[in-house]
Amino acid sequence: MLKTFTPGGIHPPADKLSSREATVPLPLPERVAIPLSQHIGVPATPLVKKGDRVKAGQLIGEAVGPISANVHSSVSGTVLDIEAVVDASGYARPAVVIRVEGDEWDASVSRQESPGRHLSAFSREEILAAIQAAGIVGMGGATFPTRVKLSPPPGSEPGLLIINGVECEPFLTADHRLMIEKSRELLIGTRFLMKALGVEQAVIGIENNKPDALAGMREAVMKHALGIEVCPLKVKYPQGGEKQLIRAITGRRVPPGALPISVGVVVHNVGTVYAAYEAITMHKPLVERVVTVTGKSLSRPGNYLCRVGTPVACLIEAAGGLPGDTGKVIAGGPMMGKALTSTAVVVTKGTSGVLVIPESEARRQPARDCIRCTKCVKACPMGLEPYLLMTLGEYRQTEALERARVMDCIECGSCNFTCPAHRPLLDIIRLGKSRVGQLMKTRKPS
Amino acid sequence: MNKLIISPSPHVHGGDSIERNMYGVLVALLPALLCSILFFGWGALYVTIAAVASAMLFEYAIQRYLLKQPATIDDGSAVITGVLLAFNLPSTIPLWLVMLGALVAIGIGKMSFGGLGNNIFNPALVGRVFLLISFPVQMTTWPVPRGFETTDAVTGPTPLVFVKQALREHKPFVEVFSPAGGGRDLLDLGTGSGIGGSLGEIAAFALLLGFAYLLIKRVITWHIPVSIFLAIALFSGILHWIDPAYAGPLFHLLSGGVMLGAIFMATDYVTSPMSPRGMWIYGTGIGALTIIIRNFGAYPEGVSFAILIMNAFTPLINKYCKPKRFA
Amino acid sequence: MNSSMIIYTAISLCATGITAAVILYLVARKFRVEEDPRVDAIEALLPGANCGGCGQPGCRGLAVAIARANSLEGLACPAGDAATMPAIAAVLGLEAGTRVPRVAVVRCNGDHDRRPRSSVYDGYPSCVVEHALYRGEGDCPFGCLGLGDCARACAFGAIRVDETTGLPVVDEAACTGCEACVKACPRGIIEARARGIKERRVFVSCVNRDRGAIARAACGSACIGCGKCARECPFGAITVERNLAYIDFHKCKLCRKCVSSCPTGAIHEINFPPRKVELTRVETENTDTPC
């Protein structure tokens, strides 16, 4: 019996079109725009100015305060300007715009694993410092600074590191390819993170629909015998959610509002682990990542190793160009990704995929009255009542929303996906969450 | 390039629709409909067609001319109301009564609350109970199934009449309800042959076939029907154990409207609770009330009343029975 | 049927009735809520539209709040006429301050021509939802989203979204200045401004705070913060802050010099008689309204 989480969950069609496409490097674009805020927390302060020459891997934005992350140039070239560039929402955010000239790397970055240095030669401080310097953030999409997640608050006792190789979003295959192509590097990275956390045990959670990744990781674990376990999981969305993954693997439940560390677990995405491996062994900052470019209407869906700051349009070009019937371009997967206002938006550290949806499938069906079929209640992985949260949200019953535990919602979209009346449940629940958040803020001082 | 469409996530939908669920229920009702035509002849079909047609007509008229909103009769819910209403009627009922029942079911039971999704009571049952109370004679003249024989219909008692008879005469129920006493074999209840009753309730096995279909298609969950069955078996079992004059569990499960009610009427999305725990309470309540009404009430059959009463409790159950939270 | 049955029925019915009445009486006594009698008096004076413009949950809510506070500090009905607040003050034995009658003004001019749409929004049709996730269908991150949260908030039916322009239109006669729409708009586009002499008003119909070039690129009639209007104004009523001009309606004398000075036509004049000279660039609204 394979492990999975309860309650709720759904089974969207996997549509992993690019799972057999090996990762290929994307040709360098003509110019990149590197946002100074690609993470949760305070935006980085720019260290370069218009006209500066930069090399790939050079620090161009410095982290501010504890919850922030460094930003590095992903290319070599000339800084054209530091200007407001539209992000996925269409709102303008400051970014460093660089004209690409050649591909020269900063002297501190070695392009290969430094030979001869054993794992145990790296101290905990050294590992944390390397991760901090490299500006690594959670690459599953949440983009929380990794350094902060590796420094558990005093008094907490991390006992288990979970590596998230679930990739439960339909269409996306970036993590899947990474596990096939870089299994050895991932294990080394995992060892580093275990050392940083001071835990003896790590589990890599992989869904059962990726047998090649499972086999590859298992083989690597056997070969290197590093005390890491590979745990196959029954396919169910949203298993990649932190709380769901912990529940599936350990059976422990993270209480509402608490972090995974409260049950002694820390979760990191495989992409993050790979970035940490590169940062520690090569001093290579997080300037490139694997992005899945996919969609049923694309002629060549694939996985591309792509520099941060590359316009989405370049990726779509590499995958065969934007089809004429395109309705939506999504950064991320179809369940939690963000529909883009334009293809000029750039890839950031948290962009796991670019999904193109034809116009015929892009539009929502008109919403009808709730028929109280309970399918949303059954689908909700947090055991909430989405139909009720939507009604309360529409009538602005903020206190009642809080009592109905709207803040537990992880915005996975299972309720919308399953609703036969096509009700935009999550739209309203999200709004309700922000209202309850404001209410809680006003309450705090008293 | 076209303008890109932007919307909050998720960007895909599972493809489920109100229509898919409603037509799923209709498909599940087909075996029972075939059985009733087989047993009661074309009269069964006429009643069903009259009920469906008038339910759709009234819904269309009310939406179009009274509420001035777009008509949604193609969503299949009015068809279900019509079929379920017909299944609760005797096959020999005058068609004008069928239409009147459909008007009450759609007009009062459904549209007066605001249409699909907003009604408190199961519309088909509102129609049926209205007819039962207003026209008791026509509503309780049960024809004995004679298939397509053209002779005049013969009326006879439904098996449930024997429940009260056994209690009145204080004889063990099995004695009263036997082929010798004018009753039948228990197995006949399952196949419906030769038993008087309403259109849809006589063939328990055909209804169970529909139940299996609904479960496979994930239109409903098992909670409500199973909890009703268990409650009926439990409460009738206790009574039967105390005094054999009370009918046993198997009789109660297979006779009357239990199967039809538990599988198709109590599970109506709109009027049943939202959480599994709530469904258990709701189902248990229906089972207990059914047994109470059947054994101690004035009417021989109590499923409709039991469901309507528990419909009224549904909002309260929803308020207090929350699904299991994640943590 | 014999007479004893009637008697028994009558007796048992009476007994049930009396018992129920006693229970009702006791319950009513036990759960009785003492309420300030002034609450009812105040509520009777309020318009009863429950518009929420005062920030309280309906008219009753405002009446309770006023009676409890025993003062009118920060509590006022924005929707009532001039006599409303003095009458309420009289109930409390207080003096009411005078209030300039106000009307809602929409400060966005980005219709489909001036602010072309670059994407199509297909989510829940509410401005707050779209605002939280997206800049909007056009390129202006400050402009009207056109999904009508203001219209839904209005208890008087005084504001609606015009389908051809995609912008809200205020029915000045119906608007009570209650500010419900002001609170409903997530982008702060609607302002309650003084109705002005003869209902005449001059205002900057834009809230874009981007630098001039960016604002102009997003919308043809955006305020670019050039400051020409401020220099032109003889009364010092116009301030330019963070690339946006604002006309203080307390100081404005309705001379309209700013209107013709604006290079983008962002400043609007309302309810003035048509000018003798043919206007270029400048928009006039509601010129058909009698002055």
Sequence-distant (≥ 6) Cβ neighbours of residue B184 within 8 angstroms: B159, B177, B194, B195
Question: Which amino acid is it at C92?
Answer: L
pLDDT in tens, B160-177: 877 877 788 887 877 777
Residue in A253, A340, A420 nearest the CB of B16: A420
Verify whether the Cβ–Cβ distance C133 to A434 is below 8 Å: no
Looking at beta carbons, which residues of chain A come within 8 Å of B8?
Answer: 424, 426-427, 430
The mean pLDDT value for A407-411 works out to: 94
pLDDT in tens, C268-287: 988 888 876 555 544 444 44
In a domain, B9, yes or no: no
Chains in touch with B (3+ beta-carbon pairs under 8 Å) read: A, C
Residue in C124, C126, C132 nearest the CB of A434: C132
**C36-65 as b/e, with b when 16 or more CB fall inside 10 Å?**
eebbebbbebbbebbbbbbebebbbebbbb
pLDDT at B204 over 90: no
Residue C289 confidence (pLDDT): 42
Verify whether the Cβ–Cβ distance B1 to A372 is below 8 Å: no
Looking at beta carbons, which residues of chain A come within 8 Å of B114?
Answer: 369
pLDDT at B182 over 70: no
Confidence class of residue B300 from pLDDT cuts 50, 70 and 90?
confident
Residue in C132, C141, C214 nearest the CB of A431: C132
pLDDT at B228 over 80: yes
Residue A202 confidence (pLDDT): 93
In a domain, B90, yes or no: yes
pLDDT at A293 over 80: yes
Residue B16 confidence (pLDDT): 92
Residue B62 confidence (pLDDT): 93
Residue B172 confidence (pLDDT): 80
Verify whether the Cβ–Cβ distance C135 to A91 is below 8 Å: yes
pLDDT at B226 over 60: yes
pLDDT in tens, A216-242: 999 988 887 678 999 999 999 999 999
Nearest chain C CA: its distance from A263 CA (Å): 33
In a domain, B25, yes or no: yes
User: Token pair 């001082």 is at which residue?
Assistant: A445
The mean pLDDT value for A317-344 works out to: 92
Write down which residue in B71, B106, B139 finishes a domain.
Answer: B139
Confidence class of residue C290 from pLDDT cuts 50, 70 and 90?
very low
CA-angle at B289, arms to B284 and B290, nearest 5°: 100
Question: CA-to-CA distance for B126 and B134, rounded, in angstroms?
Answer: 12
Could you say which DSSP state residue A145 is in? Answer: B
Residue in A334, A368, A371 nearest the CB of B270: A371
pLDDT in tens, C27-48: 998 888 777 888 888 888 888 8
Q: Which of B1, B6, B59 has the most A C-beta neighbours within 10 Å, making it the best mutation to test the interface with A?
A: B6
The mean pLDDT value for C18-22 works out to: 96
Q: Are residues B167 and B305 in the same domain?
A: yes
Residue in B116, B325, B326 nearest the CB of A371: B116
Sequence-distant (≥ 6) Cβ neighbours of residue B92 within 8 angstroms: B43, B141, B143, B153, B155
What percent of chain A stands above pLDDT 70?
Answer: 98
Residue scoring higher pLDDT (B66 or C279): B66
Q: Say if CB B182 and CB B159 are below 8 A apart.
A: no
pLDDT at C113 over 90: no
Verify whether the Cβ–Cβ distance C124 to B8 is below 8 Å: yes
Verify whether the Cβ–Cβ distance A89 to C118 is below 8 Å: no
Q: Which residue of C has its CA nearest to B10?
A: C123
Q: Say if CB C274 and CB C283 are below 8 A apart.
A: no
Nearest chain A CA: its distance from C54 CA (Å): 17
Write down which residue in B139, B174, B207 finishes a domain.
Answer: B139
pLDDT in tens, A101-119: 988 898 888 877 766 667 7
Q: Are residues B87 and B200 in the same domain?
A: no
- B172 CB neighbour count, 10 Å cutoff: 14
Residue A189 confidence (pLDDT): 92
pLDDT at A396 over 70: yes
Q: Are residues B207 and B252 in the same domain?
A: yes
In a domain, B257, yes or no: yes
Residue C217 confidence (pLDDT): 87
Verify whether the Cβ–Cβ distance B5 to C122 is below 8 Å: yes
**C208's torsion region: left (phi>0), alpha (psi -120 to 50) or beta?**
beta
Extract long-range pairs of C75-78: CB within 8 Å, 24+ residues apart.
C77/C46, C77/C47, C77/C53, C78/C53, C78/C54, C78/C102, C78/C176, C78/C177, C78/C178, C78/C179, C78/C192
pLDDT in tens, A154-203: 888 889 999 999 999 999 999 999 999 999 899 999 999 999 998 999 99
Residue B152 confidence (pLDDT): 53
Q: How far apart are the first and last CA of chain A?
A: 50
Confidence class of residue B287 from pLDDT cuts 50, 70 and 90?
very high
Looking at beta carbons, which residues of chain A come within 8 Å of B11?
Answer: 328, 330, 334-335, 337, 339, 355, 357, 362
Write down which residue in B80, B106, B139 finishes a domain.
Answer: B139
The model's pTM: 0.87
Q: Are residues B169 and B232 in the same domain?
A: yes
Q: Are residues B86 and B132 in the same domain?
A: yes
What percent of chain B stands above pLDDT 70?
Answer: 90
pLDDT in tens, B138-151: 888 787 776 665 54
Nearest chain B CA: its distance from A288 CA (Å): 26
In a domain, B307, yes or no: yes
3-state secondary structure (DSSP) of residue B118: coil
Verify whether the Cβ–Cβ distance C120 to B3 is below 8 Å: yes
For domain A119-282, give the CATH number: 3.40.50.11540
Q: Are residues B195 and B310 in the same domain?
A: yes
Q: Are residues B233 and B182 in the same domain?
A: yes
Residue A152 confidence (pLDDT): 85
In a domain, B211, yes or no: yes
Domain that holds residue B238: 161-320
Verify whether the Cβ–Cβ distance C118 to B3 is below 8 Å: yes
Predicted-complex ipTM score: 0.88
pLDDT in tens, A259-288: 899 999 999 999 999 999 999 988 999 999
Q: Are residues B293 and B184 in the same domain?
A: yes
Residue C286 confidence (pLDDT): 46
In order, the DSSP letters of A305-331 are EEETT-BHHHHHHHTT---TTEEEEEE
Verify whether the Cβ–Cβ distance C136 to A90 is below 8 Å: yes
Q: Are residues B187 and B80 in the same domain?
A: no
Q: What angle do the packed helices B77-87 and B95-103 form, to 10 degrees?
A: 130
pLDDT at C291 over 50: no
* Of A310-314, C154-158, C234-238, C247-251, highest mean pLDDT: A310-314
Chains in touch with C (3+ beta-carbon pairs under 8 Å) read: A, B
Q: Are residues B212 and B71 in the same domain?
A: no
Minimum mean pLDDT range among A109-113, B254-258, C217-221: A109-113
Confidence class of residue B68 from pLDDT cuts 50, 70 and 90?
confident
Minimum mean pLDDT range among B2-6, C168-172, C182-186: B2-6
Which residue segments constitute the domains of chain C, with CATH numbers given?
37-92 (1.10.15), 102-285 (3.30.70.20)
Q: Are residues B134 and B165 in the same domain?
A: no
Sequence-distant (≥ 6) Cβ neighbours of residue B83 within 8 angstroms: B26, B29, B33, B48, B51, B52, B200
Confidence class of residue C70 from pLDDT cuts 50, 70 and 90?
confident
Q: Which residue of B has its CA nearest to A385?
A: B323
Residue A100 confidence (pLDDT): 94
Residue B167 confidence (pLDDT): 81
Tell me the two tokens of residue A93.
């955010």
Chains in touch with A (3+ beta-carbon pairs under 8 Å) read: B, C
The mean pLDDT value for A50-74 works out to: 92
In a domain, B245, yes or no: yes
pLDDT at C112 over 90: no
Domain parsing of chain A, residue ranges: 119-282, 375-443
Q: Across chain B, what does the average pLDDT equal?
A: 87
Q: How many domains does chain B have?
A: 2
Residue B160 confidence (pLDDT): 80
